[in-house]
Structure 1
Amino acid sequence: MTVTPSARAVSQYATTSGNLTARIALHDHGTNPQGWFAWLDERLPLSGDVLEVGAGTGRLWSQVDHRGRGLRLTLTDFSAAMCARLREVPGARVERCDATRLPFADASFDTVIANHMLYHLDEPAAALRELARVLRPGGRLAAAVNGRDHLAELDAIGPAIGRPDLVIGLHQNDVTAETAPARVAACFTDVTVERYPCDLEIPTAAPVLDYLASMAEDPLSAAQEAAARDLVQARIDAEGAYRVRKHSVLITATRGPRG
């Protein structure tokens, strides 16, 4: 049975923030000394009323000083578990909602952020139209997505241990670094793309195993876990680390004047 991207997101995130936390932790082993969130902090077009859609655990706002900048921050997620985490972000308004049906009036925000979430949607075009709707004319969109080769070395582990269901792309739509700019251009102007320069060098097998466990709807068997550990450890022994390619981009764009 085919599982839609949104159904997969519900099963992964609706009742727990643990799966997302495990995946974020893997990226602590990045080769760029400037982490993803700090890199975003220098590039996000932040001003005035800011909305982050699909904000997850709110990790971005531990790096970005929204209160010091005088931003009026609104955070949304479809998941009750994530919204509970988001309510820990000081000074933020939190709404639980669907990204394709935002409970905000037209032209409510100066900036809208969609950080690594568009590929979880069944109707990404509808979500982009909603993001454009709630932006003021001249308002700015910032959306992060991944390339088709993102984390390819992690994707290779699942099939190798008899778990092809662990391949990331099987559970996502076709919004990637390669396709997203054109999709964004259908609703916005001045579209720009910048790639985050970073890969992963993971020194031990444990973070990789935690990542695989976070991806699995059914737990890995003892034999599958052992096979994964052996595969990863063999690469670490040979190369000093388990190296994984990353391919993440930040797309920014402007909401044009309304007709």
Structure 2
Amino acid sequence: MTTTPSARAVSQYATTTGNLSARIALHAYGTNPQDWFSWLGARLPLAGDVLEVGAGTGELWRRVDRPASGLRLTLTDFSPAMCVRLREVPGARVQRCDAGRLPYADAVFDAVIANHMLYHLDDPDAALREFARVLRPGGRLAVALNGRDHLAELDTLGPAVGRTDVAAGFHQDGTTAEEAPARIAAHLGDVTVERYPDELAVPAVEPVLAYLASMVGPLTAAQESAVRDQVRARIEAEGAFRVRKHTVLISATRGPR
């Protein structure tokens, strides 16, 4: 079993976009009428030269209204499969690269976005140094991360599929919402934190099964039956399978140099 954040990311994302797509799909059951991408987009600096690092499938740019002019977008990811999808984003320049070694000159971007990607890195400080380096003075960094209790109810299903490491291996690993502000403040100033208010209310078992399969691979009949029993019991008792979310947007600014 892989043990480092980067090794897990390679096993999950290097050759497929399906795992990430399955996880995004589960969040369609959020109870906040403003979905995550709309909420995030309303808070991003969307003008000038904008870089998203670890852009995944580019879903943000399919959900957020981009200005008709004044935005020059660059998208990066380590995964060849993700970069194929990113090239479908109209008008974007796409580069496959390592977040800790960005192939750009100093002070060339007005904004850098890192949406749910820092926890996939073995050395997040190397990436933060790079983010600060490529930002222009006054440029903004936007980092989205999860807290340690994010999706806690899904974690409880791990033993049902024989994987007690589900939480530790995916959304509680590496950099978290609790410790990231201090880490970011070591590289940039004016650090602020805003929490996205939401929880999931999943009305059926299938989306939960798809989520778990994206994490651990195809489930056996016995594993699927165990998950169905647990999730159905919660739906019958509460009207939905409710899952807490803990997601924050951390913003920071590069000062003059």
TM-score (norm 2): 0.96
Shift of residue 68, structure 1, vs aligned partner = 1.5
**Alignment partner, residue 215 of structure 1:** 215
What one-letter code is carried by the residue in structure 1 that aligns with 2:78? F
Q: In the alignment, is residue 50 of structure 1 matched against residue 71 of structure 2?
A: no
What CA distance in whole angstroms lies between the structure 2 residues aligned with 1:162 and 1:245? 22
Instruction: List per-residue Cα deviations over 1:182-204 (Å, max 9, x = no partner).
Output: 01100000000000000000000
**Alignment partner, residue 229 of structure 1:** 228
Shift of residue 228, structure 1, vs aligned partner = 0.7
What CA distance in whole angstroms lies between the structure 1 residues aligned with 2:150 and 2:189? 26
How many residue pairs are counted as aligned between the two chains?
Answer: 256
**Alignment partner, residue 38 of structure 1:** 38
What one-letter code is carried by the residue in structure 2 that aligns with 1:195? R
Contact 1:66-1:73 within 8 A present in 2 as well: no
**Alignment partner, residue 237 of structure 2:** 238
Shift of residue 2, structure 1, vs aligned partner = 5.5
What one-letter code is carried by the residue in structure 1 that aligns with 2:62? S
**Alignment partner, residue 140 of structure 2:** 140
**Alignment partner, residue 252 of structure 1:** 251
Contact 1:48-1:109 within 8 A present in 2 as well: yes
What CA distance in whole angstroms lies between the structure 1 residues aligned with 2:79 and 2:67? 25
State the secondary structure of the residue aligned to 1:164: coil
**Alignment partner, residue 184 of structure 1:** 184
What one-letter code is carried by the residue in structure 2 that aligns with 1:225? E
Contact 1:122-1:173 within 8 A present in 2 as well: no
**Alignment partner, residue 170 of structure 1:** 169
Contact 2:102-2:130 within 8 A present in 1 as well: yes
* Deviating 4+ runs (over 4 angstroms): none
State the secondary structure of the residue aligned to 1:114: strand
User: Unpaired runs of 5+ in structure 1?
Assistant: none
Contact 1:195-1:248 within 8 A present in 2 as well: yes
**Alignment partner, residue 126 of structure 2:** 126
Shift of residue 163, structure 1, vs aligned partner = 2.0
Contact 2:200-2:243 within 8 A present in 1 as well: yes
Contact 1:137-1:255 within 8 A present in 2 as well: yes
Instruction: List per-residue Cα deviations over 1:68-105 (Å, max 9, x = no partner).
Output: 24200000000010000000000000000010010100
User: Unpaired runs of 5+ in structure 2?
Assistant: none
What one-letter code is carried by the residue in structure 2 that aligns with 1:81? A
Shift of residue 168, structure 1, vs aligned partner = 2.6
What one-letter code is carried by the residue in structure 1 that aligns with 2:4? T
State the secondary structure of the residue aligned to 2:159: helix
Shift of residue 159, structure 1, vs aligned partner = 1.8
Shift of residue 237, structure 1, vs aligned partner = 1.1
State the secondary structure of the residue aligned to 2:65: coil
State the secondary structure of the residue aligned to 1:23: helix
**Alignment partner, residue 101 of structure 1:** 101
**Alignment partner, residue 82 of structure 2:** 82
**Alignment partner, residue 151 of structure 1:** 151
Shift of residue 45, structure 1, vs aligned partner = 2.0
What CA distance in whole angstroms lies between the structure 1 residues aligned with 2:161 and 2:52? 37
Q: 1:69 to 1:232 in 2, by over 3 A?
A: farther
Percent of aligned pairs sharing the same letter: 75
**Alignment partner, residue 4 of structure 1:** 4
Q: 1:235 to 1:69 in 2, by over 3 A?
A: farther
Shift of residue 160, structure 1, vs aligned partner = 3.7
Tell me how large the CA RMSD over aligned residues is.
Answer: 1.2
**Alignment partner, residue 113 of structure 1:** 113
Contact 1:121-1:173 within 8 A present in 2 as well: no
What CA distance in whole angstroms lies between the structure 1 residues aligned with 2:243 and 2:44? 26
